[in-house]
Amino acid sequence: MSLCFNTAADYLEAASQMADAGRPTLARLLAEEAADRMSDAAEAARILNEFPGSSLRQED
């Protein structure tokens, strides 16, 4: 079964699964991607607050 990530909800669901599996760093990265896909800044902030931690993204 392959996973398909098309929406913020897909990333958010995966983030929740990773948090439940004890993988907080991966959960945070997925949550950041979900937040980036939100048009509502307040909702994006809520998502990031739900998955605490520092960003580990390496962007150019």
pLDDT at 4: 83
Non-local CB neighbours of 51 within 8 Å, separated by 6+ positions: 15, 19, 24, 27, 28, 30, 31
CA–CA separation, 52 vs 60, rounded Å?
23
Indicate whether this model's pTM tops 0.75: yes
pLDDT tens column, 4-52:
888 999 999 999 999 999 999 999 999 999 999 999 999 999 999 999 8
Q: Which residue carries 């800044």 as its tokens?
A: 41
pLDDT of 1 over the 50 cut: no
pLDDT of 53 over the 60 cut: yes
- Boundaries of every domain in the chain: 8-52
Using an 8 Å Cβ cutoff, are 18 and 26 in contact?
yes
For the record, the structure tokens of 50 come out as 């739900």
